[in-house]
Amino acid sequence: MKINQWILVLSGVILTVIHSLVFASPPISSPSAENPSLTFGPAKPDQQAAISVPSQSPAGAVEEPVEAIADPLEPVNRVFFQFNDKLYFWVLKPVATGYKAVFPEPVRVGVKNFFSNVTTPIRFVNCLLQGNFRGAGNETVRLMLNSTLGLAGFLDPAKKELKIEKQEEDFGQTLGVWGIGPLLYIEWPILGASSARDSVGYVGDLALDPRTYLIASVPANLGVRSYEEINDHSLTLGEYEDLKKAAVDPYVAKRDAFNQYRQNKIKERGKTPQPPASRREPQGFPSVQAGLQELTKDRSSFYSF
Amino acid sequence: MDIARWILGLFLAVVMNTSALAENPKDQIKQTTDRILSILTDPSHRGAAKAEERRKLIRKAVDERFDWEEMAQRALGIHWSKRTPEEKKEFVRLFEDLLARAYMDKIEGYSGERIVYAGEIIDGDRARANVKIVTSRNREIPLEYRLLKKGSQWLVYDISIEGVSLVNNYRTQFNSIILKSGYEDLVKKLKEKRSLEEKKEAKS
State the DSSP H helix or E strand holding residue B133, giving kind and residue range, or none if neither. strand B126-134
Q: Which residues contact A6 (CB under 8 A, 6 or more apart)?
A: A218
Looking at residue B136, its pLDDT comes to: 76
Q: Within an 8 Å CB–CB cutoff, is residue A19 touching chain B?
A: no
Helices (H) and strands (E) in chain B, counts: 7, 5
CA proximity to B164, closest of B173, B176, B177, B175: B173
Instruction: Inform me whether the pLDDT recorded for A261 exceeds 60.
Output: yes
Does residue A66 sit at the B interface (CB-CB below 8 Å)? yes
Poorest-pLDDT segment among A64-68, A156-160, B9-13, B19-23: B19-23
Cβ-proximal residues to A186 (8 Å cutoff; 6+ apart), any chain: A73, A77, A194, A195, A196, A199
Mutate to test the interface with A, among B24, B139, B169, B201 (most CBs of A within 10 A): B169
- Helices B166-181, B68-76: crossing angle, 10 deg rounding: 50
> What are chain B's domains?
2-203 (3.10.450.710)
The pTM of the full predicted model, rounded to 2 decimals, is 0.76
SS3 category, B140 = strand
- Residues in chain A with CB shorter than 8 Å from the CB of B162 are 261, 264, 295-297, 299
Q: Give the model confidence (pLDDT) of A163-193 as tens digits.
A: 898 999 999 999 999 999 999 999 999 999 9
Question: pLDDT tens digit string along B38-72?
Answer: 888 887 777 777 778 888 888 888 888 999 999 99
CB B133 within 8 A of CB B29: no
A106: nearest CA in chain B? B137
Residue A160: band (very low, low, confident or very high) from pLDDT cuts 50, 70, 90: confident
Chain A contact for B174, CB < 8 A? yes
pLDDT score for A56: 40
Whether A298 has its CB under 8 Å from any CB of chain B: the answer is yes
Q: Is the pLDDT of residue A276 over 90?
A: no
Mutate to test the interface with B, among A160, A161, A295, A297 (most CBs of B within 10 A): A295
The pLDDT of residue B55 is 85
* Contact yes or no for A265 and B190 at CB 8 A: no
Nearest to B78 among A34, A53, A246 (CB): A53
Q: How far apart are CA A212 and CA A207, in angstroms?
A: 7
**Residue B11 confidence (pLDDT):** 64
Average pLDDT across each block of 10 residues of chain B; the chain has 204 residues. List them in order.
65 55 82 88 78 85 91 94 94 92 82 87 91 82 91 91 92 95 95 88 74
Per-residue pLDDT tens digits for A99-137: 999 999 999 999 999 999 999 999 999 999 999 999 999
| Least confident range of A38-52, A257-271, B137-151 | A38-52
Report pLDDT for B3: 67
Cα A137 to chain center, whole Å?
Answer: 21
Task: Give CA–CA dist B153/B187, Å, rounded.
Answer: 31
